[in-house]
């Protein structure tokens, strides 16, 4: 889903920058608010950001199709730090991937963030919330979120390309042509992302259930919080 510079015309990448800004600005406000509420949120957010960086840079070989692709990590990020904050950290991740690793481009950061950080994150988050509302097991809700978020990311990337480049070909047909380039390799990786998301959420539930919104559990304080409480008491 790393669309490179030079493919999208200026009006298209400008539009995606504008749409992305509509999510990033409230994301920044949400981060500010949650940092004040929870002392652990900032280091936790940085950990999640670097995890998204690694996961979305990691090209894995898929022998079924003979090509490589990468998972996203944003459905997991959206569940644990919030979908709007995920839009912000994905923007930062995509910037560093573009300037240091040659993944994606600068003009296309808006489009790439919309597909990976916003649609991938929000779709995964909605699946998680919906399934948890029906008391679905944690691993199932996390797994479905990971799978749907991954596939939605690539569907959106294909749509972004098709919207600008379909020409005389019907939009939906061109969309499916581009998605056919991603899909066969991405489906096995979406299953891997589902397993990964489910395992990480289960481990987090066992260790720090209070960090998972929508999951009740015994409140456990992190070392940072305990030090702060001790300082306040003394």
Partner 1 sequence: MKAGENVVQVNTPWFDPFTRWMLIIMFVLLALIFGAAKYMDMHQMQGGGTDDAVNAMASSAAHVQSHPFINLPGDAQVGAFSVANFFVGMIVGHSWKKLFEKDEE
Looking from the CA of 97 toward its CB, the CA atoms found within 13 Å total: 29
Binding mask 93-132 for partner 1 (x = CB under 8 A): ---x-xxxxxxxxx--------------------------
| Residues 6+ positions from 22 with CB-CB distance below 8 Å | none
* 216 dihedral zone (left: phi>0; alpha: psi -120 to 50; beta): beta
For partner 1, the binding residues in 46-75 under the rule CB under 8 A are 46-47, 50-51, 53-54, 57, 59-63, 66-70
CB of 73 to partner 1, least distance (A): 12
User: Looking at 39-47, 71-79, 115-123, 140-148, which segment touches partner 1 (CB under 8 A)?
Assistant: 39-47
Contact 88, 81 (CB under 8 A): no
> How far is Cα of residue 33 from the mean position of the Cα atoms in its chain?
21
Under the criterion CB under 8 A, does residue 229 sit at the interface with partner 1? Answer: no
Q: CA 1 → CA 12, 153, 183, distances in Å?
A: 16, 7, 11
User: Looking at 23-31, 78-86, 134-142, 182-190, which segment touches partner 1 (CB under 8 A)?
Assistant: 182-190
Under the criterion CB under 8 A, does residue 5 sit at the interface with partner 1? Answer: yes
Report the distance separating Cα 181 and Cα 36, nearest Å.
44
SS3 69: strand
SS3 216: coil
Return the structure tokens found at 101: 């690793």
Under the criterion CB under 8 A, does residue 35 sit at the interface with partner 1? Answer: no
User: Looking at 4-12, 26-34, 77-85, 137-145, which segment touches partner 1 (CB under 8 A)?
Assistant: 4-12
User: Looking at 29-37, 113-121, 135-143, 153-161, which segment touches partner 1 (CB under 8 A)?
Assistant: 153-161
How many residues line the site for partner 1 (CB under 8 A)? 57
The residues pairing with 61 across neighbouring beta strands, listed in sequence order, are 68
Contacts with partner 1, residue ranges (CB under 8 A)? 1-7, 40, 43-44, 46-47, 50-51, 53-54, 57, 59-63, 66-70, 96, 98-106, 157-158, 161, 164-165, 167, 174, 177-178, 181-182, 185-186, 207-208, 211, 220, 222-224
């Amino acid at each position: 889903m790393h669309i490179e510079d030079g493919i999208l015309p200026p009006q298209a990448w400008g539009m995606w920058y504008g749409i992305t800004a509509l999510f990033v600005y409230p994301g920044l406000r949400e981060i500010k608010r949650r940092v004040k509420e929870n002392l652990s949120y900032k280091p936790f957010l940085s950990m999640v950001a670097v995890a998204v960086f690694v996961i979305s840079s990691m090209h894995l070989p898929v022998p079924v199709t003979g090509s490589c692709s990468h998972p996203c990590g944003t459905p997991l990020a959206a569940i644990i730090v919030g979908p709007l904050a995920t839009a912000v950290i994905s923007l930062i991740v995509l910037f560093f991937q573009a300037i240091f690793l040659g993944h994606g481009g600068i003009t296309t950061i808006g489009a790439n963030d919309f597909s990976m950080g916003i649609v991938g994150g929000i779709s995964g988050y909605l699946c998680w919330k919906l399934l948890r509302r029906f008391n679905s097991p944690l691993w199932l809700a996390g797994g479905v979120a990971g799978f749907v978020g991954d596939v939605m990311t690539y569907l959106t990337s294909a749509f972004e390309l098709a919207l600008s480049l379909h020409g005389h070909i019907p939009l939906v047909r061109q969309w499916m042509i581009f998605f056919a380039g991603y899909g066969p390799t991405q489906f096995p990786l979406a299953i891997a992302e589902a397993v990964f998301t489910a395992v990480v959420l289960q481990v987090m539930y066992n260790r720090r259930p209070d960090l998972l919104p929508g999951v009740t559990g015994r409140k456990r304080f992190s070392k940072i919080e305990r030090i702060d409480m001790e300082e306040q008491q003394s």
